[in-house]
Structure 1
Amino acid sequence: MLAVTELLYFSESRPAYRVLKPWWDVCTEQLALALLFIAVFSGTLQVTQDKMICLPCLHACNCSCLASPPPCPAISRMTNHSPGHNLSALCPKPSPGLQTSLDRHQYFYVDSVCYERQLHWFPKYFPYLVLLHTLLFMLCSTFWFRYPKTCSKIEHFVTVLAKCFDSPWTNRALSETVEGGTGAGSGPQGSKGVSDTLRPTPNLERTPRRTNPQPSSLYDDPESQTPMLGPGGSGGTTDHGTVAECGVSFVNTGNLSSGRTTGGRGEVGSLDKKETEQAKALFEKVRKFRAHMEDSDTILRLYALQTFFKVAEFLAIEAYSLRCLSKITFDVPCSLPSIEKLTGYSLFCCAHPLSTLLTILASSYLILVGIYGAVCVYALVWMLRSQLRQYSFTREHGGACSDVPDVKNDFAFVLHLVDQYDPLYAQRFAIFLSEFTEPQELPLWLSSLKNLQELHLTGSLGDDPRMPALDALRELKHLSCLRIKSSLGKIPQVVSDLGPQLQTLCLNNEGSKLLVLSSLKRLSGLTELQLVRCDLQRIPHAIFSLSSLQSLDLKDNNLQTVEELISFQHLHRLTSLKLWYNNISYLPVQIGMLSALEQLILTRNQLCSVPNQLFLCRRLRLLDLSHNLLTHLPQDIVKLSSLQHLALSGNKLEALPEELFSCQRLRVLNLGHNALPYLSPRVGQLQCLSQLELRGNPLGALPATLSNCPCLRRANLVVEPALYCSLPATIQEQLERHT
């Protein structure tokens, strides 16, 4: 069991805002301290060391020092060639001042004047520049913590976060999770420990998806490939949409009073009455705080503003510092004609003894500022690329906290910062983000989603036939898709009240018998209907009133016969019929009346034959008869001129009609695991054939006419390796040319 004392918790001695500082903010703080050290060290050098040491130039000519006066003959020749030349400018007369050395105070004066007037401003004020820049950096880093409009929000957030962190509800959930390990059906992510079971929710099942489906059947999964509830959970992004604009998924939460969960999530120990009341109060506090924080984005704007300012300051510092770095030199010429009357000299040669150290410090300063700027640029890119205005646990954690709804604005931003600092903080806080409701009630905020188009519900909806838990659906005037995974005795009245607006209805009754279906007649606008695992023995007659129905899925029921197909002639728009995973032993001849049918899936049934009337459905593009008991295929299959996908795998076929190979549009032909001893050479007539499965048949050889199928490739030719090697080498090379 995970001891609570082993977890990092909030205390009075810890900085209140530490949990809101991700790694880049911590890094910039450390860099600011290093810059401050450079400022202090360089300032100390300037105070304790000589700033400038200057010596007079005894022989000056053209503002440069000479080792000795120029010889007079040379001067005469220069004047002969240039009669108008000023002799005094070339070689001035000896100064009437001091001729040897200056007084000590005169040297001090010259050093000071040359330092102030001749030394470049960058080495002179370098310590103060570094100090000023560092103070600006440090001020920017904490401004959003101190700004009046954000300070109170942040303090409130940290306080609520601390209470959530120390709540016995989260402690019990985490401890029981770690104690259970990967127990009770943790699913694909059960081994991930704490993060996968933070929020106790019942029946949070995850449908396994086949990564490499066998070609023998389009659908070979006993559960629906589109789960009734995606792993996105409450408000998370699923395969069917997002909040408000496209859709939402909702997970019915467990009862906090009992403190236990059902389904494959393990159990959380019971809480006493006092702990339960505390948890309820904390849920309410988090709900109110979340509503307040999601109404504004002041914190996000201030953080973005300070990051922009840091980047701008970094660019300015780098621009002028790189240009001024060369101005830090050891030799500094100093021309001061104004003090010649005081010292007797106007030109001095000065040395800047701190130049070497200042060059090293300035280079180090530029490197640290460069690192600081790179971190700030990263933070800026993070802000621009991350979904900070709407933070989804599903997108960030890949399933952890999967029932936590998306949050937005300031609340999303500060929560994202917490997650960057330590994911455990955000995960513990996430327990309190979902609405705390009783197990038979939907949250009140659901009715406020006026633009909601898609809703997924899973879990127990109560035993009351009137279903008061679903009353909130009456307010959803734009709801067009409803998916329910629960154990219902009848279709809830509120569902039938949705009327023409509902276009897609998916009911997964989890094996329980669905008795009353008459209310389906009121859903006149329904275009897609899925009744999965409802223990139906016959096709409900209420379906025949749905004149707009285009797709019907009756998967995994207990259908023995489908005599009701004669009534399907009233469904003129029905294009997809899925009767898979049932116990259907024969098809009535009335199947031929479904003239608009384009997809017919009968896999995993008990069919021994199919009637010739089936091939009157001339628009059929997909026919899946795999995993039945078929021994022959009628010749009338040639009438299916639009057929593109034919699945016959897992039957008992011993021969194929030659007419099959006249279906010129056929692209996929799955014949695996039958009793075919021979494949007709006419298979080469299928010019559109791109996938052929023959594995599991007693074939002696493959026809060489496979080379006449231009779309067929080796990767989509599913046969035994030995059988494939029986083909001529030229044909093998042709099949492998684009594999």
Structure 2
Amino acid sequence: MANYIVQPQTTAHGPKIGEPLFKQISSFQSEMFTVTEFVSLNDIHPTYRILKPWWDVFMEYLSVVMFMLALVSMTMQITKDQLACLPIMEESEENNAKRGMQQVAAAMDTKNLLERAVDNFQAQYDDNQREGEKYSNQPQASGINTNFDLQQYVFINQMCYYHILPWYSKFFPYLILINTVVLMGTGNFWFKFPKTSSKIEHFVSILGRCFESPWTTKAVSETACEESEKNKQKLSGTASAQQNASLGGPGEGTSSILTSPMLESVVVSADKPIAEAPTASMPILDKKDGEQAKALFEKVRKFRAHVEDDDFIYRFYAAQTIFKTATFISMLSCTSSFLVKINFTHICETNVTVLIGYRKFLCTHNMAFMFDKMLICYIALMIMYGMVCFYSLFWVFRGPLKEYSFEKVREESSFSDIPDVKNDFAFLLHMVDQYDQLYAKRFALFLSEVSESKLREISLNQEWNFEKAKKCVTRNAQDQQELHLKNLFGLPNVVFDLTDLEVLKLEKIPEVRFTTNVSQMTGLRELHLYECPAKVEQTGFAFLRDHLNSLHISFTDVAEIPTWVFFLRNLRQLTIIGNLSSDINRMVGLESMRDLRHLKTLCLKCNLPKLPTNITDVSQHLVKLMVHNDGIKLFGLNALKKMTNLRDLELHSCELEKIPHAIFSLLNLQELDLKSNNIRTIEEIVSLQHLKSLTCLKLWHNKITVIPSSISQGKSLEALHLSHNKLQSLPPALFKLPKLQYLDLAYNLIQVLPPEVGLLLNMLHLDITYNKLETLPNNLFKCTKMRVLCLGHNDLMELSEAVGELVHLNHLELKGNSLEKLPAQLGNCRRLRRSEFQVEDHLYMTLPVEVRESISRDSKMDSTSVL
């Protein structure tokens, strides 16, 4: 029987065609991997969704659809993809005719071959006749007889499939699968890259905690309450204005406490509502929530410092967007060219004519139609993906994403100090805004120093009660009630309840606010602010202005000096400690010192290049001026001439090389202290004759080598300090000061004490320790009023018996000499105590027993009287 074209039942790639499609898909998925397992490759932490804008989400869904399309295409290709080929008959008949003619020609050559062919033909004919008679009753098949069997069809179909079918028709599903994997892999790669994912994870964690923090809820609630309060005040203000207008003018007795434009800029208005205690309508913040909120403030501060200085995340996301756009363009241009090349029919030419009998075949690709439609769908999805890519690229580069402003948040809330951010911090907030702007608004509360101060104030007031504050109150040397608070977050409100407190010392407290309640501290007279920037409300300022007498300010930054201190009109003493530049007048506001009408004492422990000229505003009533300059040379001392009422002047560490002439214009000066300067000569001391009121002169810790004879001009001197100099000798004129009672010559190089020392009949205190004295003049013991005599650490060999004439002596220092014994006449010094008698024990034992008992008995009597 002849062979006809038969449809094969199996393919070269997989199961039977009759098997249901969903079973084939399930079989394929079980053999490789599930869709869920593959999608997990693109999965990210659920909380990262706040950093995924709508275009990233949309591109993810498009990627998933393209992935499913690739899976369906692969499944259909594996189960159904094949070629069905038939030989082209025109070419086959011609070849057969040629082959027949060749055979006839060959048969004609030999008679035997011809006869054999005739016999064979006759036999075949007889067989056909018999076979035809057998199947005469059955229908005959129509078509062209190709003389192919099933194996030949399978062979030629497979050969043509692998040789003439284009690669894009065979690998189209794999191509779109690879493209989809690339797009899905690069879609949110910035969430997985180590250098960006660490910062993103930290940011998302902090952002979520800030959003859910009880402090956020409380701050938002308070802001809403303040807004409603402001609206009420506006309404009441409008009503009162209308009422005043109807009455013809403003109400009587209304006046502002602000009397200076500068004061208006530094004093908080009293009309501004003060935060009250939490009510039932406001959420209450417990201690645990407060500690968590404090930790969040610290985390936000450190994260901002870590991220804001760099723009790596922004650049990485921009590069990722550019890469996705470039990938889309290349994929689309490559894939779209295949659309017109996927054909249903193909011509297959083979070189297996000897086996098959035909050289050219016509083949049909059964999946060409489906692949063509799927490719159209894939290109449509790619175009949509590309449009979203172009939009995201436009968004990335259209605006300043490295700058983020909280201007609207500042306008809507009471925290006007929320700073703008930049670089990666700003970019992350821009991304969050694409999800929900409420996140950034709540996060902004933890960037505000005012918000942090309020939180600390609440926590501080919860921690401090009246009993705790009362226990911290002590009595100082002046028997005043004193409270010293250090390293707190703020000033507890309970301090204002200490009505009897007289001295308040605040040290290293970053936020100090004197509210209206400070008026309850009626006993407060002295205030110390050590590195404490302080703010005061208008009513509180009025109280401090009228009651505060002494103010001490220490600072590390000029901005920490409260400007309002220069308007305390009843201030008697002002101390400023810190580092000031040459433009001190502008930075500190000393030009407004004219309002300090009652200032008597001014102490400036600063690095001043020159004495401020505006200090003359208080020169008429200033009594004491102290300038400690920490080794910086001080100029501009001519301003001292206007301080006619000055009685006490201290110029420490000002690098003075001589006594300034301006000092001798201070006719009322009583005490002059020039400690720790660079004074080598004091020839100007002749002008002491003009300072008739000068009683104390301190030239210690200098480099003076000679005391001129003109020292005798200081007729009114009662105390002279010359210790820590380089004196080798003393002039006789030094001992002609009739009123001199206190003479300090310690730490010099003096070898001889002149006998004229006996002229100081009013001498009460003489200190000449740490010199090079070998002997003492007997005239020294004529100063019978002497109470303190310090001779320690010299080279004395003996102590004269005349020491017994110092009957009023109550302090004697002899340590560090070369004495061998002590005179028994020390027993005449009835006021000398053992505790005030500084001498080596072995020397003390050289005294007679009765003398030692007298000194010891006196000590016991004194201790008993004390008890």
Q: Give TM-score, length-normalised by structure 2.
A: 0.41
Structure showing the higher helix proportion among its residues: 2
Q: Larger Cα Rg: Structure 1 or Structure 2?
A: 2
Higher relative contact order (CA 8 A, sep 6+): 1
